[in-house]
Each structure stands twice: as C-alpha cells, then as structure tokens.
Structure 1
Amino acid sequence: MAEAPAPAQPIEAFQKWTELAGRSQQMMLEFWSKEQGTALPSLDPLGAMATWQLAMSAAMADPQRLLTLQSRYMTDAMALWQSFLVPGSTPSPVGAVKDKRFAGEAWQEAPAFDFLRQSYLLASNYILEAGNDIEGLDAHEKTRARFFIKQFVDAMSPSNFALTNPEVLKKTAETGGANLLKGLEHMMADMSAGRMKMTDENAFEVGRNVAVTPGKVVFENRLFQLIQYSPTTAKVYKTPLLIFPPWINKFYILDLTAEKSFIRWAVEQGLTVFVTSWKNADASLADVTLDHYVGEGQITALDTVLDICGTNSAHTIGYCVAGTTLAATLAVLAARGEADKVRSATFFTAQVDMSECGELGVFIDNATLDTLGKLTADKPWLDGRNMAMTFNMLRSNDLIWSYVVNNYLIGKDYMPFDLLYWNSDATNVPALWHRSYLEDIYRDNLLVKPGGLTVLGVPIDLTRVATPSYIQGGKEDHIAPARSAYKLTSAFTGEKRFVLAGSGHIAGVVNPPSAKKYQYWTSDTLPERFDDFVASAAETKGSWWPDWIAWLAPRSGAKVAARVPGSGAHKAIEDAPGRYVKERIG
C-alpha cells in the first residue's frame, strides 16, 4: 500500500475520506459475497453472559459490600479529579500504575487521554475487586466470575477503540485514514482464515526455516510419524531419547530456528533423539481415545525406538498433555512388569493432579462440555482454532487485544516471528479423546485416584511408578501452573528432581543456554508443599537445559557409535520433518 500523501486542504480531505469510505465499503461487500455461506459462531459459546448475570445477582445480594466499594471508589475518583484540576495538590490513586497498554507517549502528552487512562484503571480495579469472593457462589462459579469479569474489563480498555486511543488517532491523522483501511483489510483476511494472525505467516515454512534439524521419518501409523535425527557427534550415549510433544500443537515448538531448537541441542549433547510428529485429527481418528495415545501412540513409539537402537530402555520426555499421558503410560508399563523399558521420564510443564489446574479450569463444566459437543456434532474432531482461542483468552491483553490494536486499528504490517508462526499453526484433536480428557482428567481428576481410570485394560495407579523423573515447571505458566506441575513429585514413588524455570509454558521450556535468559530454581529436597520448595530453592541464572543433561548423562550408559537414521531394519520413509506436521488448518 502506497504511503499517505501530505495533509490535504479541506475539500481534498473530504474527497480522500469519501474515497476511503467507498473503498472500505467495496471491500466489505466483496468479503461478505465470498463468505455468505459461512455460519456465524455463537456470540457466547462459553456461557459468559449467564456467569455474568449469576455474579451480578450474587453481588447485589450483599448491598452493604457494594455500598462500601462505591464509597471508596467515589473517594478515589474525587482524588483523581482533584489531581487533574489542581496539579500537585492531591496524588492520583492510580497515577503511578504501570500498564503496557498505555506505555506510549501519546497517552501522557494530552491531559484528556491521561485522565481517560487513569479513570479506566481506577474503575477496572474496583470492578475486579467487586468480582472477588462474591458470597453465594461455589468455588467454580467464583473462578468463572473472576475470569469473565476480567475479560470484560480488558475488552473495555480505551486502548482497544479508535476514538479513545490517542496513538490510533495520531496515526489516522498522519495517514489520512489509510491505517484504518489497511486494518480493515487485515481483519477481513483474518475472518476469512477463521483466526487472528499474529505474524507474517509467509515468512516461514515448515522444513525450510523452522523444523529444519536433519533427520528421517523411520516409522508411521495413523497417529504419528516417528522422526530419528541425524547425529552430529561420532559417539552417542547408548540410551536413546524419545520425545512426546503434545498433539494439541505441532512438535516443532522444540525445533524452531537452529538457535532455539531443543532437539538440535539434544543431538549435539550426544543423544540419539527421536520425536513423535502427531497426525492432525480427521475422520480417520474418529475412534481415538486415551487408550490409543498410550498404546498405539507412546508404547508403539517406545518399542520401535528400542528395536531401532537395540537397547532395553530409552529416556522419554512428555510435554504438556503428552506428559500427562506419559504418566498413564508409565503406570501401564509398571502394571505389566515392563517399567524397565523407560530409563527416565522428563516432564515439561505437565499435570496429573488437576486440583489446582489454574484458569483453564474455568472452561471445564457441563455448559462448556455441551458447547464442545455442538462444535463436534458434524465432525469427529475439534477444530484447533477453537482451542487456540481458549489459550489466548488466558492472556487476552497480550494475545488478543494487542493484535486488535496493532493490526486492525493502527494498521501495522505483520512482523515475522517464528514462535507466533508456530502458535498460529493449530491442530485438530479427536473429539472423543478431548471430551473424555476434560471430563475424566480435568473435571473428575481421576488420573491421581488409584484405579480411577482404566487404560488398555489396566487400572491406573501412579503410585506404582518408580521411574526416575525430572519434572520441570514454569514460574509464570498460565496453562499448567507450576504449583500444579509440582504435584507430580507426590504422584510417583521413584527418584525425582524438580526444576522451576523462569517464564511460562513456552519460553520456560524453549530457553537455550546461548540466549542467556531467565533463571531456574532447584533444591536437594522436595517438600510436600510447593510454597516450601520455592522458599528453600536456590536460583541459578540462565537456562535449565545444562542441569537436565547433567542429570540425564549418568543414566545414559556408555558411548557407542553414532546411529544413522534408516540404516537398520526401519528404513527411512522420508526426510524430516515429514508430511504430518505440514498439514495446516485454514
């Protein structure tokens, strides 16, 4: 799009705005003519309105509490007003609050917008406080109320609207409104794709500049392709490493650019590395449940790796939901007397006890499950874009509203970012598995109840798992909270090490030593309570990856000649990263 001309005279400005309006109208007409057969989604699929009404009714039942809040709010509002009327006379109650939504200079340059910013922050603080600990609601209803009230408060930020965002107004004046037209173009393209774009998706291609660690696909079935990576050292540890990434995402979060790739780094440490690349769910996986991901998935992959390497055991890693499933797999193997097949198990931000599962628990109730049933009524899988939006809602200011402002209002070009490209590369999941996972593991918490679940005919009892375990949690993880991941230390009976990594669900895991970012905490003891671990743990700067390899190496046997993918009985099917990972939605 051409750069905007210099500011025009009034008649020329009128003509320009008329032209922009006409072009935007034409774009909308063309868009809807193409999309007229597309069914509009429900405006309230998660029952937020019902939760809001329930919360408001409960809050109104305690008028004294509301009057107290109102009185405090009026006092602070008067102080805020006084601080603007007579600068320096009264400190603003929210004047020093830092919020990156209002970090731009334009919010402070004009007193009117500074007042608008502070008025919003003050009101939002009281609205959020009013939603805390409302009497008359059970624990789950209180959690839902807090979550959806925060969603409302975040959505109503003046930064999200063109007429109340000085940065948008400034850009509109500079470009003669071209930014709004460009933003409309972005918005309609995103609506056509069924998802909000966060990055320049044309800047990346799986197998070209992400997921590029050399290797071969050496096995495949309907659930996964097994990739064996090419060695970079003459000798490797005897015990191989098998990585199970979550099938709710693509595996290459562990193989982004060469500098960030955990897989490449693990190969460089002298490990024979395998990874499962899961199939994007379609009609062929209509029958798939937890039993299939354990048996047809993880155990089949494990047996294949042992056959290829000629070893009796392998190290394993389970990331997120694949770590939850790995716990069930270990319990099945223990019950069968085959626990020795797994030399060690590493868990990246995984949970087995969902009693403190964080804000994701908001979405686990009968109303949401009924909605999921409707979403999958005409197909046996859940569209990955629905799950991606759920995760984005947990950090709506960062992962939703910032893109609304930058992409749709300011009209910025999409910036290339490999992590956001991966985040947008959603995957479908089997509907049967997803429903039972939410009901049995999240809602009813059956995985940690001995005999609560039966997998492959085996009653699951995690207390029988004595496999040495390395358990990692993210200090700022909003998907699998660290205190929830820590519960793994109580679930198993074997040797365990827990590492609390700085940052969250992704950056806390994908933190190569070369980046010299964040930190991690360790302790020689594992107290029963997570808070006690935090109080006693020692901090180390940088990546936790060296700590992991220092723990793993002594358990990996002697060095042997490097193994070349496809050189044994399992011949190479195709080059890594294989076909499965290249299937995209939309």
Structure 2
Amino acid sequence: MIAKGFDLHQIPEQGRVTIIDATFIREFHVKAAPLSASDASPSFIAPAPPHNRQVLDIFLRSQIARLTLGISPAAMWLAFQDWWQHLAVSPGKCTELAGDGYRSLFDATPATVVEADGRFAGAGWRGWPFCHYVQGFKRLERLWEQATSEVAGVAPHHAQVVAFTARQLLDMWAPSNFLWTNPEVLRAAVESHGGSLIDGMLNWRNDLCRQWAPPGSVLSEPPGQRYVPGIDVACTPGEVIYRNDLIELLQYAPQTDKVCREPVLIVPSWIMKYYILDLSRHNSLVQYLVRHGHTVLMISWRNPGAQDRALGMEDYLWHGLFAALGQASQVSGGAPVHAAGYCLGGTLLSIAAAAIASGEYPACVKLASLTLLAAQTDFSEPGELGLFIDDSELAFLDALMWDQGYLDGKQMAASFQLLHARDLVWSRMMREYLLGERSAPNDLLAWNADTTRLPFRMHSEYLHGLFLRNDLAEGRYLAGGKPVALSDIRTPMFVVATERDHVSPWQSVYKINLLCGAPIEFVLASGGHNAGIVSEPGHAHRSYRSLPARSPSSGYRSPQEWLDSAERSDGSWWRHWQQWLSRHSEQVLIGPPSMGQGRTLGPAPGLYVTSGGADVRH
C-alpha cells in the first residue's frame, strides 16, 4: 500500500506501508500484534480489543480510575502494607519514633525551618498562638518524615510512595489552610470588615459554576484570562506550509534581510500546545530566533479525539517528526537542519536522531545540531512522577484511556496538581477563597489552561516502553521495527535542564551524557519546567550555569562534579543558545527562503490550535 501525505486513516493495522513525502521514500512494518516471545523485551504494543470476559474488568478499573484521578488503590494499599508491616517488626525504630514524638511535645525551641516555608513567611505567624500552630505542624512533618524513611526491608518505591502520600495528607491540614488558624486571613478580614471573606465566597461560587458549565460556554472561562491564539499569544507572523492528519508545520516570516542557511525546526511536546514557545511578543522564543536571523519552523500537533485512539508512537515519529524534517529540508534547499525538541518532543527527537544515525532511515535528512529542552532520554529516575508509574498504576490508567480513547487534558492537569498540591491546590484555595484574591491573568496561565488530549495507544506505549521499562536508554526501543541506540548519535548537542523541574529533573536530563557519544553542551537554567524554558532576555532574576562541551574521550563528570565546575551567568540562556547555533552553522548568510516554497495553507497559528483540532481534516 502507498500512503501519500500520511493519511493516517488509510494505514492498515498490519502489513508493509510505503510512505512518500516529497524528499524521501521509506518502507516500514506496522505491527498490530505483540512480537514473539523470542524477541528480547520488545517495545510495548497497545493491547488488542478486549475479549468479552475482559470488558467488565476494564470497565470497573476505568470507573475506579475516574474517581481516584488514575491512581491505583491496589498499588497504594501494597505500598502502605509493605511499610507498616516492616515498621511493626522494627521495635528499635518504633521506640525511636515514640521518644522523638514525646520530646517534641515539650520542645519550646522555635522551628528554624519555618522561615523557608513560604506558607508561614508573614510576620503574623511569629505571634502567639500562631507560632505554636506552625511549630506543632512542623514537628509533625518531621516525625512523619522519620517514620517513612529508613525502615529496613521496605522497597524503595513503596517507601517513596508512602512518604509522598503522608506529606500530601499533612499539607491538607496545614494551619495556613483554615480561617481561624491563619493570621493573614484574619487580618485581611478585619481590615476589610469581612469584605475579603465575601469576595472569597463569591470566588468559590463562580468556580463551582464554571466547573459545571457546558464546555465552550462563557461561564466555563475564568474572567479576564482569555488569551486568543493569533492575537494575544502565538502571534509571531508566519504561514502554515504543510498539513496532514497529525501535524501542521508553521514557517515564520523572516525579520532580517539575511538568514542562516540552516533552518531551526522546533518539536514541541504533544501534551501541550506549541505556543508556549511563542507566547506574547516579549517572551517568544520563536520571535527571538527570527529576529536573530534564523529561519524557524514549528510543529503544531493536532489535538486528537476518541477516533484517534490507535495513533501510536510510530505515527508520531513518521507522520509527525520525519514529515516535518522532510519539509524543513525542502525549505532550506537540502541544507542540514538545527532540530530542537521540548519535553516529550525532545525525547521523540532523540529517537529520530538515533534512527537517522543508524543509517537505516532517510539519508536525505541531515541534522546540523540537536537541542533538547527539559527532555529526558533515561527514565530510571523521573522524579515524583515516577511514584505513580508501575504495573498496577498503568493497568488502571490503560483502562481509563481505553474507555475514553484518550487521556483528557484536565485529567492530566489534575495529576500534576496532585504532585504539587501545596502550591497548586491548597495555597491557591487559601488565597482565592479565604483572602478573596484572584491570581493576575497572564499568558503562561492561559496557555496552561489550553489543554490537549493524548491518544490511548501513544500514551500507553510512552508510559510502558519509556517510563516503566526504560527501553530507549537500555537499547530496546524499536523504531520502524528495528532497535535504535542513542550511542549512535554524533551530532553536536545542546541540552537544557532547569533547576526546579519536577517533570524532568535536571539530574535525569543530565544522563544523556552517559548515553550519547556526541559532544554535549549542557546548560542548567533557573526556574521550573515551563518558566525556566520561557526565560527571555531582560527577565528579572534569571540565570543559568554552563560549561563548554567536552570531547567524549575526556571522561564523564557526575552531575555534582559538573555543578561544582559550571560557570554561573546572569540573564537568559537564549542568548547562549543562539550563539551556539551560529557557531554550528555555516558562516554564510543567504536571502530568506520563500514561505513554503511558494505554497501556503493559511496564516499561523493554523487550524490545529485555533479550532482545537480534533475534528479538523486536510
């Protein structure tokens, strides 16, 4: 069968497919059944439709997952069983905990750690009786931390789950969350003659109405937080130059008379809308690159619906990334491409780069450099997100996605809120419902609320193959039916991690140095997973650490050794990256290439952002 333009709905479930896309022809197998048992740890293949006897099981698990936000009660029960049973047969540990608890009741020493907790930073917390509330709460936190750590015999994963759950439950009962135990709330209520409490009640009522309002209605949108793509955000001028059933490819209009010959192709994660990298005019990474003489192209992923449940990682690789690379190569007249991937887009880009380096994939696509932004390639230490990735958790999550056909953006957002409930749930509720204050609207919050969906098969393959089994780092990940190895990559790499990233911890991102033989320039930026990447020049309090790339023969530095040696620079890492791109480009400037080689499909930001994308077809 021949598929032109990558029409996903004409691709069979199995058999040989020939894909034609302007600059290359590629044949690969689409597999619908698991590989044979003789194949060593194959990449995960999404399960076939369930037998009748399994339908009830999947239905029950999916309903439980809806109630528990995808958390497996079985996994949680096993973790606590493991912990308390080992604690019960550790009399020395129990005696120590009892002694510490008894002494803390009579300890009048002020809690020195209170200063570092933003919830209790106000001067009112130092007065009586509020100082005693905080000290008691902090002692209870320390006691639980001792109780859930260093219990002999407990599996590390279970110990971490118990410690995390205990911390989340304690945060619910922090004295800052209640009217009569929060001096700042009481002071605001007195000064406003109760007005702050009335405002808080109105905020709560409005949020409740929005929660139950029909999607798309005026009531469902927070007031003052409407940012329109193409007008308020995603407003760098450009054109859609290519579209298939999975992506739109945007090419941005040049803003200089001469440009670098090599274009920059940006691959965003499909768990978010692309325009986090093209927010407002003052903090758009795309705008920054265009103004510095780069031809920039951006993938805009379509927001899938239930009918797209069978889309897998292979589709995202071939119909998404390789399709865009082929178009970028055409735009540049065959020049190598600077490819940059953010978050999961960076993971996919590293798979593509390894596939190209193996020599088995489109030889006409050449990479001038590879940039990974907050992207993991080794998932053995994924941070707190890994606490909820095990076989039991994925069984419940798979059932939930099978029932819907996708993972909804609101469900995904709820999971992230659970990980950071202190800041994203309890502190926000205190501020909005007790103090009566609303967060000032901004472009980043508006982008974060513009959620996306993840098709069932792709998300299952991603979680099982990458997160659970770490196939990519261990050489088992299959692309086009063949394993790919990151060690084959020799393209110069620029890798950015952020200091406070809870999605892609910087030590985990740093592991690319163990996996890849290419020269790697590693940069550690201040901020978190999103704000650390959207770090425009002129942004206050921004900094980054860096060291020049070392030859692979120079030996390996541990993360701590790198951190001790790295040079700290004030300002944005964007400038550092742009200079690095220039050094890895031919020192020849040319006239800007035509937009889409003279064929465009409409202005940026395109249909897949402005329409939601689920029902848009080319």
**Which TM-score band applies after superposition, normalised by the shorter structure?**
0.7 to 0.9
The 3 A distance-change label for structure 1 pair 583 and 120 is farther
**Partner of 1:313 in structure 2?**
336
d(CA) in 2 for partners of 1:167, 1:205: 36
Q: Is the 8 A contact 2:225 2:442 kept in 1?
A: no
Q: Is the 8 A contact 2:526 2:542 kept in 1?
A: yes
Q: Does the residue aligned with 1:355 lie in a helix, a strand or coil?
A: coil
Residue 56 of structure 1 pairs with residue 80 of structure 2: no
**Partner of 2:144 in structure 1?**
127
Residue 495 of structure 1 pairs with residue 519 of structure 2: yes
Q: CA deviation at 1:53?
A: 4.9
**Partner of 2:411 in structure 1?**
386
Q: Does the residue aligned with 2:590 lie in a helix, a strand or coil?
A: strand
Q: Does the residue aligned with 2:348 lie in a helix, a strand or coil?
A: helix
Q: Is the 8 A contact 2:80 2:158 kept in 1?
A: no
2:603 to 563, 568, 575: 575
The 3 A distance-change label for structure 1 pair 385 and 136 is same
Q: Does the residue aligned with 1:316 lie in a helix, a strand or coil?
A: strand
Please identify, of 405-414 and 269-278, the stretch whose mean Cα deviation from structure 2 is larger.
Answer: 405-414
Alignment of 1:136-215 (within 5 A): 136-172=153-189, 174-175=193-194, 177-192=197-212, 200=223, 202-215=225-238
Alignment of 1:338-417 (within 5 A): 338=362, 341-417=366-442
The 3 A distance-change label for structure 1 pair 545 and 414 is closer
**Partner of 2:120 in structure 1?**
102
Q: What is the identity percentage for the equivalent residue pairs of Structure 1 and Structure 2?
A: 31
User: For structure 2, which runs of at least 5 residues remain unmatched after alignment?
Assistant: 1-62
Cα deviation, 1:421-446, whole Å, max 9, x if unaligned, reads 11122110111111111111111011
Q: Is the 8 A contact 1:131 1:145 kept in 2?
A: yes
RMSD of equivalent CA atoms: 2.6
d(CA) in 2 for partners of 1:418, 1:230: 22
**Partner of 1:518 in structure 2?**
542
Q: CA deviation at 1:473?
A: 1.1
Q: CA deviation at 1:146?
A: 1.9
d(CA) in 2 for partners of 1:414, 1:112: 29
Residue 240 of structure 1 pairs with residue 259 of structure 2: no
d(CA) in 2 for partners of 1:168, 1:66: 38
Letter in 2 for 1:77: L
Cα deviation, 1:109-131, whole Å, max 9, x if unaligned, reads 4x122211221112112112211
Q: Does the residue aligned with 1:218 lie in a helix, a strand or coil?
A: strand
d(CA) in 2 for partners of 1:449, 1:477: 24
**Partner of 2:34 in structure 1?**
none
Q: CA deviation at 1:500?
A: 1.5
Alignment of 1:463-542 (within 5 A): 463-524=487-548, 525=550, 527-542=556-571
Q: Is the 8 A contact 2:172 2:426 kept in 1?
A: yes
**Partner of 1:4 in structure 2?**
none
Residue 267 of structure 1 pairs with residue 290 of structure 2: yes
d(CA) in 1 for partners of 2:69, 2:226: 34
Cα deviation, 1:45-78, whole Å, max 9, x if unaligned, reads 4146523454333333323212212312322331
Q: Is the 8 A contact 1:183 1:409 kept in 2?
A: no
Q: Is the 8 A contact 2:69 2:411 kept in 1?
A: no
Cα deviation, 1:463-515, whole Å, max 9, x if unaligned, reads 11111111111122111111111111222222221111122211221111222
The two structures have a TM-score, normalised by structure 1, of: 0.85
User: For structure 1, which runs of at least 5 residues remain unmatched after alignment?
Assistant: 1-37, 81-90
1:113 to 130, 150, 154: 130
Q: Is the 8 A contact 1:94 1:118 kept in 2?
A: no
2:593 to 547, 563, 566: 563
Q: CA deviation at 1:201?
A: 5.4
2:279 to 256, 264, 287: 256
Cα deviation, 1:64-119, whole Å, max 9, x if unaligned, reads 21221231232233122xxxxxxxxxx3244754321122344334x122211221
Cα deviation, 1:173-223, whole Å, max 9, x if unaligned, reads 52264134213314413532699x997553422221111111111111111
**Partner of 1:25 in structure 2?**
none
Q: CA deviation at 1:516?
A: 4.8
The 3 A distance-change label for structure 1 pair 407 and 265 is same
Cα deviation, 1:258-279, whole Å, max 9, x if unaligned, reads 1111110011110000000111
The two structures have a TM-score, normalised by structure 2, of: 0.81
Q: Does the residue aligned with 2:524 lie in a helix, a strand or coil?
A: strand
